[in-house]
Amino acid sequence: MIKDFFILDFSYDVIDNIPVIFIWAIDTEGQRIVLLEKSFRPYFYVVVDEKEVEYIIEEIKKLSKSGSPITNIIPIKGKKLFGQPVTVLRIETLIPAYVRIYRDEVLKVKGVKQVLEADIRFYMRYSIDKYIKPFHWIKAEVEEVENINFRVNKVYEIKNIKEQYVGSIPKLRKLSFSIQVYSKQGSPNPRKDPIVVIAVKTDDSAKQFVASDSDDKQIIKEFVAFFQEYDPDIVYGFNTNSFDLQYLLERAHSKGLKLDIGRRVNGEPSQGVYGHYSMTGRLNVDLAGFVNSVSEVKIKTLENICDYLGIVKKEDRVNLEWYEIPKMWEDKDKKNKVIQYVADNARSVYLLGESFLPFAIELTRITGLPLDQLSMASVGYRVEWLLMRESNKYNELIPNKEERTGESYEGGLVISPIQGIHENVIVLDFSSMYPSIMIKYNVGPDTLVKGECNDCWVSPIGHKFRKEPPGLYKFVLENLVKERREIKSKLKETKDEYEKRLLDERQKALKVMANAFYGYMGWINARWYSREGAEAVTAWGRSIISDAAKIATEHGFKVIYGDTDSIFIKGNGDINKLQEIISQKFGIEIKMDKVYKRVLFTESKKRYAGITEDGRIDIVGFEAIRGDWCELAREVQRNVIEIILRTGKVDDAVRYVRKTILSLRRGEFKIEDLIIWKGLDKDVNEYAITAPHVVAAKKAIKAGYLVTKGSKIGYVIVKGTNKLSERAEPYFLVKDNSRIDISYYVDNQIIPSAMHVLKVFGVKEDSLKSGGTDILSFFKK
């Protein structure tokens, strides 16, 4: 029979010594389906000396093992590696795990130059070869078979996939969850500390499973039963890969239970690539992986992210500090507040997931990465999977990963700013400059020419790239740009609001992916790495920005600043004419990005703040968007900037700083506003220097808290006569405001953060500490 299926995910298993790929899907009736593919076999490629092909084939045959014999060795024609033709053999076997075993042995055969594509997961290899991706539909010839141990409506065996197409997304079942552990002291230990609340939120309900005592066996059983009954397609979490799921697994096992929440009976979550936990047949989406893109929020807690995005404001939910929870749980009058806190977490996670899902779906459709892996994969890996899929169409072999040391090269041009306040400043921005350069000059590792070349593009620093044929980067980028252009045209025409949103998410995803290619090319972990390519792109970019600034000056504008792909100008010239001239000269569109009503520049590059005509404030490069200052210092700097930008009055900003310092000296503050956050990039015992956050971490460990590499340490500086670092205390161990060293915060946090802005106007540092009202005293004489 011929049927249509919407693909959710892929997995595989070896059954009776045969590899079986599972395609988890939904059919046109909304039934949950698993499709079994039993005919596909694992393979890899071997690049060989063309003179030794017959000898190499015979030698490889000798390596065949009874557990998974080599079933076929096929010479393949037309394959390229970095654009160069190569002689290739395709080695086929039976069991996927044997690919790596054969890889190592085949490499030792005389005449073998490289083994390629032996590190691609079996089910992803299948999806690449069959040109199928998650969140697409396929039309397939199938035969229904017996459902054995699958939690789905029907099971089919695939006979033939006819086509893949993009259709509407069926109604998906989504579930979010959050857990709360009761730990009297220190960090939770799954061997002894019970889960006391598990909260879930679904598309149409919310539920909390609450332990009546310290035995969490019953609520884990209830959670698993609810999970199986609701049968979600997508499971939202926040840091669930790093905590919740691992804790649930260990607690379940300690109680003699299985966390049986997949779509295969007795299938527990298992940790896979990128550190994510895979739930067979479901998409476990840890949203913490997506929020890294929200750079404006430095401490990326669930509450902070949802508050910033306006999804769930802090005032509309219960907010608790983790160290408060044990005592509140022990207090019968406060226990319900803890339960509501966990329920609010589950609700926040669900709404956050719904906010990210449309964009994430489009990234999945573009890259082919399943949604659960996409949420944890870096931008580089997302680009790489797109290239891996497209290289197959281009007949280009996928290179191996290589270990490389970091190589620095000159970045984009930054034109030094004219210090001070400027009004009515226009920002002209080159649309996707780096992708445009890569397309125009056919930049890539496969087009790089290191010898003589008569028909090459030559970069300003001398790197050469052949003009024809197009390289892999150009091939893929042109497709992304073309599709985005077509979608933007559709956006102008469509009147359906739902369709508009989907199209907008698609064009944003295409833009994000295209803009990531330059960074990927210079990423040392990239399979298609090219330092020369990255260097050449930035060199062309510097040349373009420099020339664009000269053209702007020639047409009556004053250049205030320039950075990488944009210039800041002011003047009374014809801005439309200027855009037209620059765009035509370089073949890259430049357009007005924004107009600043007022913009502030310090003497430093990449540090400015501006207010747009609609009242929005942009802050770039100041401590206000960095994470190494306490919240009060960031707040002071933000407010100083805002006062100056909105009013143009420096004296008002100085008065505000003085008032803040006075309040601090009076003890009118919350300890939470003085916390300094710093991450541990290694274990505490590996630090040779006793930095404040390391001292605080050691104190937290001594108090019984689990602190490891990667932990975020929050500390405050307290009074004392010993060294500053020794006076760093974990914030949750400081209960009395009088212990805080106010002088440290005034001299090392508040004043420095304010002075980064105010020194531009000649304000004296000492004037911020005084309580006088003489405006002239603010300024240097």
Query: Please, what are the domains in the chain?
Result: 2-39+132-165 (2.40.50.730), 43-127 (3.30.342.10), 174-369 (3.30.420.10), 414-470+528-612 (3.90.1600.10), 626-778 (1.10.132.60)
- Give the residue from 239, 203, 189, 248 showing the smallest Cα distance to 221: 248
Q: How far apart are CA 49 and CA 114, in angstroms?
A: 10
DSSP 531-563: HHHHHHHHHHHHHHHHHHHHHHHHTTEEEEEEE
- Give the residue from 255, 243, 244, 174 showing the smallest Cα distance to 219: 255
Helix 335-367 vs helix 379-393: crossing angle, to nearest 10:
30
Helix (H) or strand (E) holding 91: strand 88-92
- Give the residue from 292, 286, 480 showing the smallest Cα distance to 374: 286
Helix (H) or strand (E) holding 324: none
SS (H, E, C) 735-774: CCHHHECHHHHHHHHHHHHHHHHHHHHCECHHHHHCCCCC
Q: Is the peptide bond before 469 cis (omega within 30 degrees of 0)?
A: yes
- Give the residue from 242, 281, 243, 288 showing the smallest Cα distance to 265: 281
pLDDT tens digits, one per residue of 725-773: 999 999 999 999 999 999 999 999 999 999 999 999 999 998 898 654 4
- Give the residue from 672, 420, 437 showing the smallest Cα distance to 542: 437
Q: Who's near 99: CB < 8 A, 6+ residues apart? A: 42, 43, 44, 93, 118
Helix (H) or strand (E) holding 690: none
- Give the residue from 170, 171, 192 showing the smallest Cα distance to 182: 192
At residue 396, φ and ψ (nearest 5 deg) are -100, 125
Q: How far apart are CA 80 and CA 86, in angstroms?
A: 6
Q: Who's near 670: CB < 8 A, 6+ residues apart? A: none
The end-to-end CA distance of the chain, in Å, is 89
At residue 261, φ and ψ (nearest 5 deg) are -120, 15
Q: Who's near 15: CB < 8 A, 6+ residues apart? A: none
- Give the pLDDT of residue 772: 46
Could you tell me if 311 and 351 are in contact, meaning their C-beta atoms sit under 8 angstroms apart?
A: yes
Q: How far apart are CA 632 and CA 751, in angstroms?
A: 11
At residue 337, φ and ψ (nearest 5 deg) are -70, -35
Q: How far apart are CA 175 and CA 152, in angstroms?
A: 17
Q: How far apart are CA 564 and CA 605, in angstroms?
A: 11
N residues, the chain: 781
Helix (H) or strand (E) holding 5: strand 2-15
pLDDT tens digits, one per residue of 64-100: 999 999 999 999 999 999 999 999 999 999 999 999 9
DSSP 653-677: HHHHHHHHHHHHHTT-S-GGGG-EE
CA 618 to chain centre: 22
- Give the pLDDT of residue 627: 61
Query: Taking the model in full, what pTM does it have?
Result: 0.89
Query: Token pair of 117, please?
Result: 């594509």
- Give the pLDDT of residue 771: 57
Q: List for the chain the helix, strand, coil content (%; round to 5).
A: 40, 25, 35
Side by side, the strands of the sheet bearing 464-466 are 448-449, 464-466, 456-458
Query: Token pair of 352, please?
Result: 């956050």
Q: Which ranges of the chain have pLDDT less than 50?
A: 772-781
